[in-house]
């Protein structure tokens, strides 16, 4: 620590090398936000390896500062020397004696001294906390398993089977799960004041055949080993047909109705659809089984009607008719490998304490320069000469 090279100070002390690790995240954000074809921004994998390198870099800085904790001289004379010089009326020997009495420790040259400060410990804690946060988050992302599936009442589904998921996000080191149970939904509980996202009465079947029945509802997860299983929301899927003049349907298909953040005229589920020059909207109120269709051709409204599912099968307006053949009901189930959030929070607290300590407690350092019987002094921190 006494004679750090310029490279050592640049690598372990200067903030500039840290900016290198912002290049890939910035490229990724720009490519997503502005749809730019930028290098290294086609996937999240470069960001994962970028963060892995950053965690290693932060770990090396932590070890560098941790090693400095054992030395008398932690910063060194070559690091951060101020330009401002003060002429002292006292000789260098008298100043050395005063500074030593005040707790300063000199290096072997006798011309540089510093006082032990807790701010240096704060820097050490800052890098320790950052390493915990970044490395934990990186490992979690490398082993990530986050799957979404739509499942209805009836047959069971093996949650270990990746082919059953509509969407699945994994990391480069993710392995196929083997400990997840099978899941069977017995009934759906429609959204209400208690469960605004709905709920599902499910049975989990373990590898030994043991069954466990529970109610899945957002945001309370069912824990299975290192995985959390929870229901995000209910989704309705009517199969509708739209016909003009009683001819063959101009639209015939299934539409997924997703929950609205805020109800519209008591309708909690909604989806748009289009076919040729026709634009349609479907609204659904599960509490009363109300299904409403709005159909437009340009600015003209061709239909604005609603029906009660399983009571009314068809509605007409002019020469337009729409028919509801059936209604699928699904629960959106998420299966997520649990992240180590308590450890990340702990690291964040350590880093914050370290940062505050470094900002509040400033280094106390002094340089003495003897020339022609006079002594010039450079200070960082409290200037003891102000008491002269």
Q: What is the pLDDT of residue 140?
A: 96
Q: What is the pLDDT of residue 357?
A: 94
- pLDDT tens digits for range 353-367: 999 999 999 899 999
Q: Break the chain down into helix, strand, coil percent, rounded to 5.
A: 30, 40, 30
**Residue 2, token pair as written in the block:** 């006494």
Q: 145 vs 52, 55, 160, 339, CA distance in Å?
A: 18, 21, 11, 10
Taking the C-alpha atoms of residue 360 and residue 67, their distance in angstroms, rounded to an integer, is 22
Taking the C-alpha atoms of residue 165 and residue 169, their distance in angstroms, rounded to an integer, is 10
Q: What is the pLDDT of residue 42?
A: 57
Q: Which of 300, 122, 121, 284 is nearest to 190 (CA)?
A: 284
Q: 165 vs 114, 150, 153, CA distance in Å?
A: 61, 8, 16
Enumerate residue ranges in the chain where pLDDT < 70: 1-4, 38-43, 383-388
Q: What is the pLDDT of residue 43?
A: 65
- pLDDT tens digits for range 170-188: 999 999 999 999 999 999 9
Domain boundaries, the chain: 145-234+332-341, 235-328
Give me the numbers of helices (H) and strands (E) for the chain, helices first please. Answer: 6, 21
Contact 241, 322 (CB under 8 A): yes
Q: What is the pLDDT of residue 350?
A: 98
Contact 222, 336 (CB under 8 A): no
- pLDDT tens digits for range 4-39: 677 887 888 888 898 899 888 888 887 777 777 766
Strand partners, 377: 86, 368
Contact 24, 46 (CB under 8 A): yes
The angle subtended at Cα 198 by Cα 197 and Cα 202, nearest 5°, is 130
Contact 152, 329 (CB under 8 A): yes
Name residues whose C-beta falls within 8 Å of residue 362's C-beta, 6 or more positions apart in sequence. 117, 119, 380, 381
Torsion angle defined by CA atoms of residues 338, 339, 345 and 351, in that order, rounded to the nearest 10 degrees: 160
Taking the C-alpha atoms of residue 74 and residue 67, their distance in angstroms, rounded to an integer, is 9
Q: What is the pLDDT of residue 386?
A: 53
Taking the C-alpha atoms of residue 251 and residue 17, their distance in angstroms, rounded to an integer, is 59
The angle subtended at Cα 24 by Cα 335 and Cα 127, nearest 5°, is 80
Neighbour count for residue 226 (Cβ, 10 Å): 14
Neighbour count for residue 281 (Cβ, 10 Å): 16
Neighbour count for residue 245 (Cβ, 10 Å): 8
């Amino acid at each position: 620590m006494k004679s750090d090279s310029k490279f050592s100070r640049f690598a372990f002390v200067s903030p500039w090398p840290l900016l290198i690790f912002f290049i890939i995240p910035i490229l990724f954000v720009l490519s997503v936000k502005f749809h730019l074809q930028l290098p290294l921004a086609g996937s999240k994998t470069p960001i994962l390896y970028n963060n892995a390198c950053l965690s290693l870099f932060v770990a090396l800085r932590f070890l560098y500062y941790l090693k400095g904790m054992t030395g008398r001289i932690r910063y060194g004379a070559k690091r951060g020397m101020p330009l401002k010089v003060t002429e002292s009326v006292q000789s260098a020997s008298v100043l050395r004696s005063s500074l030593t009495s005040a707790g300063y420790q000199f290096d072997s040259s006798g011309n540089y001294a510093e006082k032990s400060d807790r701010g240096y410990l704060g820097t050490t804690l800052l890098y320790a906390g950052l390493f915990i946060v970044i490395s934990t988050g990186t490992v979690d992302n490398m082993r990530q398993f986050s799957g979404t599936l739509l499942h209805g009442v009836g047959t069971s589904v093996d949650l270990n089977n990746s082919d059953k998921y509509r969407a699945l996000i994994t990391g480069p080191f993710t392995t196929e799960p083997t400990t997840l149970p099978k899941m069977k939904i017995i009934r759906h509980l429609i959204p209400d004041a208690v469960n605004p996202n709905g709920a599902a009465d499910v049975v989990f079947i373990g590898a030994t055949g043991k069954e466990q029945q529970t109610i899945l509802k957002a945001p309370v997860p069912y824990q299975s080993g290192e995985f959390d299983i929870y229901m995000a929301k209910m989704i309705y899927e009517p199969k509708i047909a739209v016909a003009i003049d009683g001819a063959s349907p101009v639209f015939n298909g299934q539409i997924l109705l997703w929950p609205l953040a805020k109800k519209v005229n008591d309708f909690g589920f909604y989806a748009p659809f289009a076919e040729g020059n026709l634009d349609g909207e479907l609204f659904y109120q599960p509490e009363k089984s109300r299904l409403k269709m709005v159909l437009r051709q340009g600015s003209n409204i061709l239909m604005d009607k609603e029906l009660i599912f399983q009571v009314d099968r068809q509605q007409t307006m002019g020469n337009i008719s729409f028919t509801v053949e059936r209604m699928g009901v699904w629960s959106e189930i998420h299966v997520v490998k649990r992240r180590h959030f308590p450890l990340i929070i702990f690291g964040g607290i350590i880093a914050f304490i370290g940062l505050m300590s470094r900002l509040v407690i400033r280094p106390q350092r002094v340089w003495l320069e003897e020339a022609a019987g006079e002594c010039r002094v450079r200070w960082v921190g409290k200037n003891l000469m102000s008491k002269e």
